[in-house]
């Protein structure tokens, strides 16, 4: 497995939450695919359009969604902005403070930021309490909070949905898809949008979105209208094909087993952090957490970690580390060997 990701030979890579690694297979596929342009000319574009239906079917199978309601996009930002542009101008949106900037900026630009809640250990209960006293149309949030790794509880969101059936949940899935088991149609989410370059390991320039009829009904538009607008113009066929290749590769390599391996490494990391009292109170208070953690550290420590071959990110007031299925217990041990020595 690890030999497929050359970066792992050069560093302890704990930075998938920033950029997922490109596999050798993906790069070989991209090179082969792009060479077709030289020999096919106009047929390269024609074949690209012809592939779109089957690509959407593959993506829908992975997401647990309907192909006709599932779309490839160039990024989360592009897809989410398109979704917001379908909402009526007077839509009332509830969101979170210090959300991922692409989500927050898109809402703000359209005048939808009417109320923002601080992230808390009982954030779902806080949302439910606000909805009980004030009317909102939409709750927009990241399924995984990018700084802390806090994961929204889908069961809790389902309970909220049962109590407030008309509320729409619009979710950023960029830090979620490819990292957690998920079935869109069985979830309380009405819209999910994400980029492929993090946990899906699909490289840059691609993303996805899936919507339910509830969203279309609220916007008073048809799926045909939505499709015509989102697929106006030409596409980056290489980026789209890379996303499909990556999704198929996850399935081919037993996606369930890969998630299990990531979970085991995450538990190992969490226990090490707990032993050192480095777990954030938000993490401790939650029933389930992701493989993203934020620990104390500043720019100087971050630079020293980098010089020692540890890849991580400065986020919020600390250093964010994250593990994927290609990480091992040895990666974690090496990280703490360096971290403890530097402290």
pLDDT at 151: 97
Beta-carbon contacts of 62 under 8 Å, excluding residues fewer than 6 positions away, are 247, 250, 251
What is the pLDDT, as a whole number, of residue 2? 84
Q: What dihedral angle (degrees, nearest 10) is formed by the CA atoms of 26, 27, 32, 38? A: 130
Q: What is the pLDDT of residue 343?
A: 83
Question: Which domains does the chain possess?
Answer: 2-22+254-342 (3.90.1150.10), 26-252 (3.40.640.10)
What percent of the residues of the chain are helix, what percent strand, and what percent coil, each to the nearest 5? 50, 15, 35
Q: Please give the model's pTM, rounded to 2 decimal places.
A: 0.95
CA distances from 90 to 111, 158, 203, 225, 302 (A): 9, 25, 36, 21, 44
- DSSP annotation of 326 reads T
State how far the Cα of 41 lies from the Cα of 214, in Å rounded to an integer.
41
pLDDT at residue 96 in the model: 95
pLDDT value of residue 48: 87
Q: Report phi then psi at 91, rounded to 5.
A: -60, 135
Q: How high is the pLDDT of residue 139?
A: 98
Alpha-carbon span 46 to 250, nearest angstrom: 27
Neighbours of 207 (CB within 10 A): 28
* pLDDT at res. 98: 86
- pLDDT given for residue 64 in this prediction: 98
Taking each helix axis from N to C terminus, what angle separates 255-275 and 237-252, rounded to the nearest 10 degrees? 80
Average pLDDT per consecutive 10 residues, the chain (343 residues; last block may be shorter): 91 98 96 91 89 96 98 96 96 94 93 86 97 96 96 98 98 98 98 98 97 98 94 89 97 95 97 96 93 97 97 96 98 97 89
CA dihedral 82, 87, 91, 93 (to 10 degrees): -40
């Amino acid at each position: 497995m690890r030999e497929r990701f050359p970066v792992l030979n050069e560093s302890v890579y704990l930075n998938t939450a920033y950029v997922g690694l490109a596999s050798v297979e993906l790069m070989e596929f991209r090179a082969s695919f792009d060479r077709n342009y030289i020999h096919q000319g106009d047929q390269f574009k024609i074949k690209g359009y012809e592939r779109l239906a089957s690509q959407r079917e593959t993506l829908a199978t992975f997401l647990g969604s309907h192909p006709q309601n599932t779309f490839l996009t160039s990024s989360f930002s592009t897809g989410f902005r398109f979704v917001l542009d379908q909402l009526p101008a007077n839509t009332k949106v509830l969101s979170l403070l210090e959300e991922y900037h692409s989500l927050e900026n898109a809402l703000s630009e359209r005048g939808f930021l009417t109320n923002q809640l601080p992230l808390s250990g009982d954030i779902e209960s806080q949302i439910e309490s606000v909805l009980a006293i004030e009317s909102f149309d939409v709750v927009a949030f990241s399924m995984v909070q990018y700084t802390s790794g806090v994961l929204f509880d889908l069961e809790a969101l389902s309970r909220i949905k049962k109590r407030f059936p008309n509320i729409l949940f619009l979710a950023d899935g960029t830090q979620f898809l490819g990292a957690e088991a998920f079935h869109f149609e069985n979830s309380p989410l009405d819209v999910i949008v994400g980029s492929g370059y993090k946990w899906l390991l699909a490289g840059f320039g691609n993303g996805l979105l899936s919507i339910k009829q509830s969203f279309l009904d609220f916007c008073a538009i048809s799926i045909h209208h939505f499709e015509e607008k989102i697929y106006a113009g030409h596409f980056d066929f290489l980026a789209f094909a890379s996303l499909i290749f990556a999704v198929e590769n996850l399935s081919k390599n037993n996606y369930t087993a890969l998630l299990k391996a990531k979970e085991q490494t995450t538990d190992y990391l969490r226990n090490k952090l707990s032993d050192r009292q480095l777990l954030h109170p938000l993490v401790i208070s939650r029933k389930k957490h992701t493989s993203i953690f934020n620990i104390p550290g500043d720019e100087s420590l971050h630079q020293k970690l980098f010089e020692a071959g540890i890849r991580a990110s400065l986020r919020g007031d600390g250093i964010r580390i994250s593990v994927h299925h290609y990480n091992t217990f040895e990666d974690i041990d090496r990280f703490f060997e360096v971290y403890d020595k530097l402290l």
